[in-house]
Amino acid sequence: MAEETVALDEELDEMAEALSGSMTPEDLEQLKVKHRSDEARDILKADLKYLKALFDRLQSEKENAGKSSFAGAGAYDSGVMLSLGGVDMAVVDAGTTSAPAETGGTFDVGV
């Protein structure tokens, strides 16, 4: 809290000096650069906080999806979902099903 107060006092002193017109153009330019770097640092901190929260949420969703969504779906689930026309379906690995895979057949799309 004391550090914030000291930093705020320094900023107010710099602003008062800039407004009084006693700063040289070089000092004024340096003040602008310092202010921009402070803003960039604050933005970077906010971005990092947001990304950490986003990745934490995605990780927890991934863990929860792995535990609960396939619990009653059967032993053949690969853990992959496919959404067609707004309907979610579990993708079944053809190598683990008991039915033999057909080869050489035709498939009519009906376009």
Q: Would you list the domain boundaries of the chain?
A: 2-68, 74-100
pLDDT in the model for residue 109: 63
pLDDT of 105 higher than 60: no
Percent of the chain topping pLDDT 70: 71
pLDDT of 15 higher than 50: yes
pLDDT, tens digit, for every residue of 45-98?
A: 999 999 999 999 999 988 888 776 555 555 444 567 777 777 777 776 655 555
Three-class secondary structure assignment of 24-81: CHHHHHHHHHHHHHHHHHHHHHHHHHHHHHHHHHHHHHHHHHHHHCCCCCCCCEEEEE
pLDDT of 40 higher than 70: yes
pTM value is 0.39
